[in-house]
Structure 1
């Protein structure tokens, strides 16, 4: 279908900014400026996130003796309830993105009161290249297990989730739990993957069809990958490209939500098929008329609220009810 009219208007403004020199593609910017611009975009895409959600600041221990910042989101009315947890990893190509840039996403996932949402601030490239983010994701699971009782979280009802590169980290955790259970502290009961990166090693037709003009650009993906996984060997590692994991043991049920206008569309479809072939229950949804990063667009596209509703309803019905 055509680009959603609300999104289309936003894309036209973005293109006008580029033509007039007021904005530049992310891949042409220094990393620090790209990060700052990405943070500012959250105020445009979703300026009024739900305020009814309580946020607790946490610290999560890592294997090297360090700590990651984290945030726990839940409704105040559930403070004394032991809730299942969505462990949520933000997007941003492993280079940009933060707890702040995806604060609205975590608030909206916690708004129903059915789940608590734990968001770790995993380390970013180029300062911390592959596989640092993977190690941080695994360490976040271990930290959740350690703190679950204190935080009133049910460690046996874990959902791994994320968008874009964050969805890749969630997918890696699900693969690890299925194939290498000794390497992960908890076994996820479900995975929510929104427009994941599943294969850094090649470009597919959607990389060319939606290369420019739909927020995420193919050249920006290449810029991200160069910072995070600079060598061909790293990009072919299944921890960077889950599609290359091959046939794995059946994993936790997966809800995969893709954007129609996204360079990553084809590899998302291919990953859903790989999971199905391995016996993993998969719910694949395609958000027609939308582009990459739609989870952060509640302020400009009204139908995004329904995307959250459907994903959470699937979780309650199929995995962590």
Structure 2
């Protein structure tokens, strides 16, 4: 399948910026520059997300005493006892923030009955593996304790994320199924968009789409070196969910992949890994798109349909 024409036009502009020296690949920048550029990109690729929402700024305590920012997105007509999507942003463990994924959270909160709770987690290289996963586990514990006072239903929580956020969400879903992990609640489902599922090796799609499609294989290597410089850590399922063995059936999974993504093969392998465990999997294979498509609703017309289909899946989930 060919690249989506809206996206192809955008990639031409990106390449022109590279050729003229106006922009550089993320792995060629300092961490601070990469973070700044990633934040700025959000204003270009989705500048006008839905505005009619209530957004509450919160703080989530961690096991080591830190307080991490979080945001709760709700429609104005929300009622108490709402189901909630716990959404974890992408960014390779190094870049990404609540601001970079503000538009995604707003769009998710407008799909139907779900509120969206977006906690942050500490990033590498300042905080290496397994800090991000532990911070997310602490966010789950906090949600379990405070759901009632926030007007949320702790029995109807969906773990969700994109890219490494999807990896973190997958790790939470695994932890929820393992008694020894002691996770505070069990999810209703998991939403995994173009997930990072195995940072211990590279597959064929890392070569097929190594450069020219926004996320580059060299950038992935840069991310992983910051987050998990120790090769042994990359085999831990908290960093590489595909390395989890003898999985019981997990919460139903909605897995969204992008055809022009270096992570495509490992995402497909993880969907099959879940199916082999007895987990119910809905696979949405967006062959004409690249990594990060959820953030592109402002430039790629097809993304609106992806959100609409996801909303229908979530409503069917509640109906069951």
TM range (shorter): over 0.9
Cα deviation for residue 66 of structure 1 reads 1.6
Identify the residue that residue 212 of structure 2 maps to in structure 1.
213
Cα deviation for residue 289 of structure 1 reads 0.7
Cα deviation for residue 65 of structure 1 reads 1.6
Determine the C-alpha separation between the residues in 1 that align with 2:195 and 2:107.
19
Determine the C-alpha separation between the residues in 1 that align with 2:75 and 2:48.
17
Identify the residue that residue 118 of structure 1 maps to in structure 2.
117
Deviations along 1:163-209, one digit per CA (max 9) or x if unpaired, are 00000000000001112365210100100000000000111000000
Determine the C-alpha separation between the residues in 2 that align with 1:266 and 1:241.
14
Cα deviation for residue 152 of structure 1 reads 0.4
Determine the C-alpha separation between the residues in 2 that align with 1:86 and 1:164.
16
Q: Is contact 1:247-1:277 (8 Å) kept?
A: no
TM-score normalised by the chain length of structure 1? 0.98
Determine the C-alpha separation between the residues in 2 that align with 1:157 and 1:187.
9
Identify the residue that residue 167 of structure 2 maps to in structure 1.
168
Identify the residue that residue 253 of structure 2 maps to in structure 1.
254
**What does 1:1-321 correspond to in 2, within 5 Å?**
1-78=1-78, 80-180=79-179, 182-318=181-317
Cα deviation for residue 319 of structure 1 reads 5.2
5+ residue gaps, structure 2: none
SS of the residue aligned with 2:74?
Answer: strand
Determine the C-alpha separation between the residues in 2 that align with 1:110 and 1:274.
29
Q: Is contact 2:111-2:307 (8 Å) kept?
A: no
SS of the residue aligned with 2:200?
Answer: coil
Q: Is contact 1:247-1:274 (8 Å) kept?
A: no
5+ residue gaps, structure 1: none
SS of the residue aligned with 1:226?
Answer: helix
Deviations along 1:193-228, one digit per CA (max 9) or x if unpaired, are 000000001110000000000000000000000000
Cα deviation for residue 318 of structure 1 reads 2.9
Determine the C-alpha separation between the residues in 2 that align with 1:135 and 1:41.
28
Deviations along 1:8-56, one digit per CA (max 9) or x if unpaired, are 0000000010011110000010000000000000001100011011110
Determine the C-alpha separation between the residues in 1 that align with 2:9 and 2:212.
12
Determine the C-alpha separation between the residues in 2 that align with 1:304 and 1:320.
25
